[in-house]
Structure 1
């Protein structure tokens, strides 16, 4: 399930059961989602991509030069390249002798008969063509879009976070291996259209009745972020004075939406100021920040954020928190840009840990509100998101098969982080942990345990059981209690064993519940009220 799926369900009213089905792992799932023997001996260093779409035929063609380094000594290995049917590899060459080439469904296996040594550098060149899968509900189902703008001009793009970049491009399609040295991306278009890619535009070239647009990304980039957008675009620019100097702000919108975009995109600078405060410098100064108008709602494509929120605040004009606060700002601008820190700077190694992307980024909305509108509004917005929690299945998915967990990774994951913030009980320390994550894991792929251990180490608090509670179960901690005046008896129920989650009451008094009954004397005989910033339930038991 792709980006913003939970939110799409909430808006469309589609039954969650249609989407959240239990995965049934197969050999194909393992080939797609695991670091198998065909992948674990080589590391991608760079992609040099050429793409030319054909609007009338709904087809694409191009090439990808894959530069790689051998990670360990290996004899006669087989390289796996991913390219999903019905796309075809027209030509495959390499800088090493190829013994055999085999296409098996969505995979290309390149056999060799030689010894490869650690540190050696090679290239694999693949020409590709075909009619890629067409997205029916982009960005949620994934695929290409061949549509028209309101003036009848061709408008093309893709979205493939869940389904994988190999839906159109031959790549090593696994989250744990990004091209360390970035990409070049040449997009060939009809002469009256514009091709927008990731990073910075370094060359435009007229080719008779066509035109080429060469883009360059210097940073590592996850495969699903590599996205072209082709349309009748116009460009306007700005700069942001940030923590690392001047950041180029680059905006590409349909020609008839220019005035709307100039007004709506004024939200970018205060957003950047808020996010740099909480998370540290924008992670891709060398590649710029970009918003590109898209025919779908939006996606967090690195240095190339897709924007389709129709130049209105909220989520297509709706406040997901139900508080009114979400109508003060453009959800897609804020949420998708938050992913530049969590998803693009820090990327999960396995799709099962997609919560690292979505939980932190959903919480970035709260932190943005906190910074711009005040902490009270931030807390109110976050608490309002709880109405979207389904508790249908665990947030962490199944490892090794490209399987993500529950859509609760958005609202429930954000509430987990907010609960941890209450446990730390020091906003400056919490802020430094977030900034430290983005500094210490800068441009890296990570595991869940790395993120969890970092929080525990830097906070000085063992937070493992809290992460386990909210990520691996559908149980919400429930404080059962009996009250007689100011005398309280209480314990945890519905929790993982030995949950270490201290809580504060609304008046600031702290409790440290366990699964055994305890007693405490309250500050007053008033009815027990827990600080609403903790995502827990309470249940009063009659004495």
Structure 2
């Protein structure tokens, strides 16, 4: 969502002034200290939203590139979770609602900010299945700086032909189509029908069912998504595309691979993507389990913006360079061994798309694990030393400005530190587990246990703690809910080491490995109280903590 909704301030580099790992979700990552009714209407799962569960959408729209407008409809098929006569869906107020139909009649509705409240002529009964259709039109928001600012993107390719897409994580899918715009409810399946001029091609999520000629010089592309999908992942790409296919022999059999680049870039794109995609899939299936969307396949699509984790149709805009536009975000050299956008955005297929959070405040689950997918990719291909160096190198961009977990029920994420700090917390927990096979089993278990589900931070924390057998509540509190990095304060007197934790939450007692003897690291068990142990051949100049633990060390 690679950097918030990353893809999204996806990326982190002090030199790039907040094009940091937090960048991927830059649409979300903007300072905000006060919240309004509009924020609550967007961010809260109220009874008018929880009363129905979305089963199916059919989004059917025509995009007028010259006028930069959209017009069409979205059909909502739902199951009633309680008795109700009114519900809320979402559509930005700058877009017109032409009518809302239910069983052949128009429904009354009212609008407040970007929320729409629909009243039904009869009471919908719990357990029933029903549907309504929203017809709408207008000019959607155009992104000023995509993907960090959300909206439509209207560009032209090198030949002057139109190149159009959308990136809306953070801004919201309701900025361009009517839906229940809350992360907690993923539609079970969806048909996306996009009509465009005949001289171009259109790509969306899922698999292409048909292309139908329209009477006005347009063609309608019909893409069916057979897996649950979150709203901001639903997308389109319009342009003069070249297309080729391949297959990957994965854990669940043949996985179809589809590649779409602009025709002008196809000779460059094919060898570049070939270099990373299959080794990425091999690495991530090893660490995380089977690719979660075999039914819909894997697509990589050249986009007129940097990148986004659009499910089964990953947006790519990294100019066919290694690293992040040719730069190494870790400063170690290892970041130039892979294409950052291909690896990071594809990593979101597991964390972000397979496992999706219920509230934006918990976005670290998407970004922390996906950020950690980068060193895991390096480990698979270049060894553990490369992975360790890379994740440690990311620490220089951690700001510790505000907590990683954001504000609930108002669509507000926490610090952009969710990327590098989230990854370093996970790396630290890996050291505490001390068994790489067990750690890998936990990563795979997360994707199996929460397969195609929406989750909370508590669910993820509890799962990791239960499977590891470790007491981790204070570790999560420290790294996710405060801006303080644990400080191991120590004093050496002869062969005696005194030590304790400072700058920690009450009760913080995380073990850490340190040099009690030259050339090796040994666990000690600090708390906020002073403890002592024996050392041999260690002085202030040679005492240090294992750098794989994200802590600081100081002498008293």
Query: Do they fold alike, i.e. is TM over 0.5?
Result: yes
Q: Tell me which of 25, 30, 34 is aligned to 2:40.
A: 30
Asked if residue 446 in structure 1 is aligned to residue 458 in structure 2, the reply is no
The Cα of 1:100 is off from its aligned counterpart by: 2.5
CA spacing shift, 1:2–1:451, aligned 2, 3 Å: closer
- The answer to whether the 8 A contact 1:97-1:112 is kept is no
- Tell me what 1:195 maps to: 202
Asked if residue 162 in structure 1 is aligned to residue 170 in structure 2, the reply is yes
**Could you tell me how far apart the structure 2 residues matched to 1:262 and 1:287 are?**
21
Q: SS in structure 2 opposite 1:196?
A: strand
- Tell me what 2:550 maps to: 535
Q: Tell me which of 338, 345, 353 is aligned to 1:336.
A: 345
The alignment yields a C-alpha RMSD, in angstroms, of 1.7
Range with greater deviation from structure 2 (512-521 or 82-91): 82-91
Q: Tell me which of 485, 499, 507 is aligned to 1:498.
A: 507
- The answer to whether the 8 A contact 1:198-1:217 is kept is yes
**Could you tell me how far apart the structure 2 residues matched to 1:333 and 1:11 are?**
22
- The answer to whether the 8 A contact 1:2-1:142 is kept is no
Q: Tell me which of 284, 287, 290 is aligned to 1:281.
A: 290
Q: SS in structure 2 opposite 1:287?
A: coil
Q: Could you report, residue by residue, the CA deviation over 1:487-541 in whole angstroms, capped at 9, with x for unpaired residues?
A: 1000000001111310112513110000000001124324212110000000111
CA spacing shift, 1:62–1:11, aligned 2, 3 Å: farther
The Cα of 1:55 is off from its aligned counterpart by: 1.2
Q: SS in structure 2 opposite 1:360?
A: helix
**Could you tell me how far apart the structure 1 residues matched to 2:292 and 2:210 are?**
24
CA spacing shift, 1:299–1:15, aligned 2, 3 Å: closer
Q: Tell me which of 223, 229, 232 is aligned to 2:231.
A: 223
Q: SS in structure 2 opposite 1:22?
A: coil
Asked if residue 13 in structure 1 is aligned to residue 17 in structure 2, the reply is yes
Q: SS in structure 1 opposite 2:361?
A: helix
**Could you tell me how far apart the structure 2 residues matched to 1:384 and 1:253 are?**
32
- Tell me what 2:532 maps to: 519
**Could you tell me how far apart the structure 2 residues matched to 1:104 and 1:503 are?**
52
Report 1:112-151 matches (<5 A).
112-151=120-159
**Could you tell me how far apart the structure 2 residues matched to 1:444 and 1:2 are?**
17
**Could you tell me how far apart the structure 1 residues matched to 2:241 and 2:59 are?**
21
- The answer to whether the 8 A contact 2:259-2:299 is kept is yes
Q: SS in structure 1 opposite 2:109?
A: strand
The Cα of 1:259 is off from its aligned counterpart by: 1.1
Report 1:288-327 matches (<5 A).
288-327=297-336
- The answer to whether the 8 A contact 1:221-1:302 is kept is yes
- Tell me what 2:366 maps to: 357
The Cα of 1:20 is off from its aligned counterpart by: 4.1
Q: Could you report, residue by residue, the CA deviation over 1:349-373 in whole angstroms, capped at 9, with x for unpaired residues?
A: 0000000000000000011111111
TM value normalised by structure 2: 0.94
Range with greater deviation from structure 2 (93-102 or 165-174): 93-102
Report 1:177-188 matches (<5 A).
177-180=185-188, 182-188=189-195
- The answer to whether the 8 A contact 1:397-1:404 is kept is yes
Q: Could you report, residue by residue, the CA deviation over 1:225-267 in whole angstroms, capped at 9, with x for unpaired residues?
A: 0001101111111000000000000111100111111111111
Asked if residue 399 in structure 1 is aligned to residue 418 in structure 2, the reply is no
Q: SS in structure 2 opposite 1:397?
A: coil
Q: Tell me which of 523, 527, 531 is aligned to 1:510.
A: 523
- The answer to whether the 8 A contact 2:12-2:329 is kept is no
Range with greater deviation from structure 2 (393-402 or 499-508): 499-508
Q: Could you report, residue by residue, the CA deviation over 1:85-107 in whole angstroms, capped at 9, with x for unpaired residues?
A: 21111121124976631123312
CA spacing shift, 1:134–1:48, aligned 2, 3 Å: same
**Could you tell me how far apart the structure 2 residues matched to 1:493 and 1:275 are?**
37
- Tell me what 1:239 maps to: 247
**Could you tell me how far apart the structure 2 residues matched to 1:478 and 1:416 are?**
15
**Could you tell me how far apart the structure 1 residues matched to 2:290 and 2:301 are?**
22
Q: SS in structure 2 opposite 1:285?
A: coil
CA spacing shift, 1:424–1:138, aligned 2, 3 Å: same
TM value normalised by structure 1: 0.96
**Could you tell me how far apart the structure 2 residues matched to 1:156 and 1:413 are?**
33
Q: Tell me which of 103, 116, 119 is aligned to 1:111.
A: 119
Range with greater deviation from structure 2 (20-29 or 361-370): 20-29
The Cα of 1:206 is off from its aligned counterpart by: 2.5
Q: Could you report, residue by residue, the CA deviation over 1:305-341 in whole angstroms, capped at 9, with x for unpaired residues?
A: 0000000000011100000100010000000000000
**Could you tell me how far apart the structure 2 residues matched to 1:99 and 1:237 are?**
45
Range with greater deviation from structure 2 (520-529 or 253-262): 520-529
**Could you tell me how far apart the structure 1 residues matched to 2:106 and 2:196 are?**
33
Report 1:406-445 matches (<5 A).
406-445=415-454
Q: Tell me which of 82, 85, 91 is aligned to 1:83.
A: 91
**Could you tell me how far apart the structure 2 residues matched to 1:13 and 1:256 are?**
32
**Could you tell me how far apart the structure 2 residues matched to 1:222 and 1:463 are?**
29
**Could you tell me how far apart the structure 2 residues matched to 1:273 and 1:61 are?**
41
